[in-house]
Amino acid sequence: MPPSPEVMAQLGGQKLRRVVYSEKDIADRVKEMGRSISETYTAEDDLLVLGLLKGSFIFLADLVREIQVPLHVDFLVASSYGAGTVSSGNVQLLYDPDASLADRAVLIVEDIIDSGNTMNRLLPLLAARGPKSLEICALLHKRIGALAKDARWVGFEPPKEFLVGYGLDYSENFRHLPYIGSL
C-alpha cells in the first residue's frame, strides 16, 4: 500500500518506493518475538534490555511491552552511518549504559543489522563486563557481513534496500513512520 498524501507531505518530497513491512506485519512479529523472549528468561535471570539508540527506540518500546518477565531497560548509542546510506565501518560508541551488566542476562536490541560492524565492536566490550548471558534481538537482519555472534531473535530478513520508518532513518528523517518503507 503506498503512503497517504499526508505522509508524503511529511516526507519533504522524498518518495518511498514501497512499504516493505506494514504496521500490522511489525506488530504481529514483535508480539511473537516478545513471547519467545518471555519463554527464554525467568525473573532469576535479572534481564537487562539494552537498546541501541537511536534506531531501536520504537522497536524496543513495543518489544518490552510484550515481554512478560521482569526486566530493566538501558541504552547504548553507537553510530556507523553519519549522513550516508551505507555503513562507514567506523563504529563510535557515544553513550555507555549506566546499569551494571555483571551476572545479568543482557539482551541487546537493535533496529537493523547490516554489515555487523556495530555488533562485532560492541559484543567484546559488553562481554568483558561479565554478563551471565549476552544475546541479540534485531528487528531486521540483512545478513550482509559476518557476525562474531548471530542474533538469537530476528524479526525480518529484509531486501537489500535502504529502509526507513519505525525508528529507521535517513539523515535523522523518517523515524516517525509507523511502517517500514524503502527509499
Q: Read off the DSSP letter of residue 24.
A: H
Output the CA angle 118-120-126, nearest 5 degrees: 90
Three cell numbers, residue 140: 531486521
Among 46, 114, 150, 169, the active-site one is 114
Active site residue 98: no
- Give the integer Cα–Cα distance in Å for 47 and 38: 10
Do 18 and 182 form a contact (C-beta atoms < 8 A)? yes
- Give the integer Cα–Cα distance in Å for 26 and 94: 28
Do 137 and 110 form a contact (C-beta atoms < 8 A)? yes
Q: Which residues are tagged catalytic?
A: 114
